[in-house]
């Protein structure tokens, strides 16, 4: 059974619609990647799901189910409680979420109470937190702190769902790899489901079971990571893959995840699409078998 099912999610800002009719499901124990270039609507989806959109923004959905609960009909107070218990949100900048003067170990205990995290700290390479019980955050590296915050989000309240919005974007590659390992460990050990947002397809390949590709506020293709990488169906997904390092033609700078023009009507990808049809400029394609493309729509 799905842990999270999102059906027909829209998000509007005063400047216009940022998320159009997004639907996907996240299974228990699954890591689902939401991938797309900057501005494609990934953070808006996360903020709408957890109801933390900025003032002036509006979200609407046919349904958002978490386990056996329908979230769209919850009051703000009920939603706040849910955020504090069943949904863990991983902050993007660790330093702003920790007290700068209090020892890290004490802050971990505040949040996790009597939970025994010794073994987990060892496993995720954070023994230093135990070895240096009096050290404040500035004595640890950014990567250690980011992993610690993920641990806090996952352990403190034992959420069913972790939402990680580009948690490694500011980290160097070594630390990024450590964070990704930690997420995989947590999924394996705690059975967490993780919504993992990134603009980096290489990261998706490393950690995600399934992927949703966003362009211009639409989920243009959803599939298993294997299917997305071996048999992409949407022209945008194919363009992304061909621009991955190692796959791009020498000298090609066709931007993987470099923001490009988004059409205001019709298919949002039409201005960049190598196989654009006349109909694409007029009509936004409807999703057919997890792909939003007139080519798929027209096929039997």
Ligand X SMILES: Nc1ncnc2c1ncn2[C@@H]1O[C@H](COP(=O)(O)OP(=O)(O)O)[C@@H](O)[C@H]1O
Residue 107 interacting entry, from Mg ion, ligand X, none, C-beta within 5 to 8 Å by type: none
Q: Exposed, middle or buried by CB within 10 Å (0-12, 13-18, 19+), for 134? A: exposed
Give the CA-trace dihedral at 114, 115, 119, 124, to 10 degrees. Answer: -120
List the alpha helices (DSSP H) in 139-288. Answer: 142-155, 173-190, 201-207, 225-230, 235-242
Least distance in angstroms from the C-beta of 206 to ligand X:
20
Half-sphere exposure of 17 (CA within 13 A, CB side): 16
Of residues 120 and 213, the one with the C-beta less far from Mg ion: 213
Widest distance between CA atoms in the chain: 66
Under the binding rule (CB under 5 A), the answer on residue 176 touching Mg ion is no
Per-residue contact track with ligand X, 53 to 82, x per CB under 6 A?
-x----------------------------
Distance CA 163, CA 154 (A): 10
Least distance in angstroms from the C-beta of 36 to Mg ion:
9
Of residues 10 and 42, the one with the C-beta less far from ligand X: 42
Distance CA 294, CA 275 (A): 10
The residue to which tokens 């923004």 are assigned: 57
84: number of Cβ within 10 Å = 12
Total binding residues for Mg ion by CB under 5 A? 2
Per-residue contact track with ligand X, 216 to 255, x per CB under 6 A?
----------------------------------------
When binding is defined by CB under 6 A, the residue of 42, 147, 234, 294 that contacts ligand X is: 42
Total binding residues for ligand X by CB under 6 A? 12
When binding is defined by CB under 6 A, the residue of 18, 195, 207, 276 that contacts ligand X is: 18
Distance CA 8, CA 27 (A): 18
Under the binding rule (CB under 6 A), the answer on residue 15 touching ligand X is yes
Which of the residues 23 through 82 are near Mg ion (CB under 5 A)?
42-43
Which of the residues 100 through 159 are near ligand X (CB under 6 A)?
none
154: number of Cβ within 10 Å = 25
Distance CA 148, CA 104 (A): 9
Under the binding rule (CB under 6 A), the answer on residue 44 touching ligand X is yes
Least distance in angstroms from the C-beta of 108 to Mg ion:
28
Residues at the site binding Mg ion, with contacts judged by CB under 5 A: 42-43
Residues at the site binding ligand X, with contacts judged by CB under 6 A: 13, 15, 18, 36, 38-44, 54
């Amino acid at each position: 059974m799905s842990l999270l099912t999102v059906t027909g999610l829209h998000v509007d800002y005063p400047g216009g619609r940022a998320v159009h009719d997004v639907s996907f499901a996240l299974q228990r124990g699954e890591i689902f990647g939401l991938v797309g270039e900057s501005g494609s609507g990934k953070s808006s989806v996360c903020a709408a799901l957890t109801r933390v959109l900025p003032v002036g923004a509006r979200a609407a959905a046919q349904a958002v189910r978490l386990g056996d609960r329908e979230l769209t009909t919850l009051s703000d107070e009920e939603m706040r409680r849910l955020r504090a218990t069943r949904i863990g949100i991983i902050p993007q900048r660790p330093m702003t979420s920790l007290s700068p003067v209090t020892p890290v170990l004490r802050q971990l205990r505040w949040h996790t109470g009597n939970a025994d995290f010794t073994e987990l700290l060892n496993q995720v390479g954070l023994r230093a937190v135990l070895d240096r019980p009096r050290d404040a955050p500035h004595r640890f590296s950014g990567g250690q702190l980011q992993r610690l915050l993920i641990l806090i989000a996952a352990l403190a309240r034992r959420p069913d769902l972790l939402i990680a919005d580009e948690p490694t974007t500011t980290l160097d590659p070594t630390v990024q790899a450590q964070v990704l390992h930690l997420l995989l460990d947590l999924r394996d050990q705690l059975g967490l489901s993780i919504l993992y947002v990134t603009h980096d397809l290489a990261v998706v390949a490393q950690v995600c079971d399934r992927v949703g590709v966003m362009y211009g506020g639409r989920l243009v293709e959803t599939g298993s990571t294997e299917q997305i990488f071996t048999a992409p169906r949407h022209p945008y997904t194919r363009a992304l893959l061909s621009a991955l390092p190692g796959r791009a033609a020498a000298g090609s700078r066709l931007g993987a995840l470099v923001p490009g023009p988004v059409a205001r009507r019709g298919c949002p990808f039409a201005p960049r699409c190598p196989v654009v049809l006349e109909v694409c400029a007029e009509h936004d394609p409807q999703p057919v078998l997890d792909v939003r493309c007139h080519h798929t729509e027209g096929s039997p």
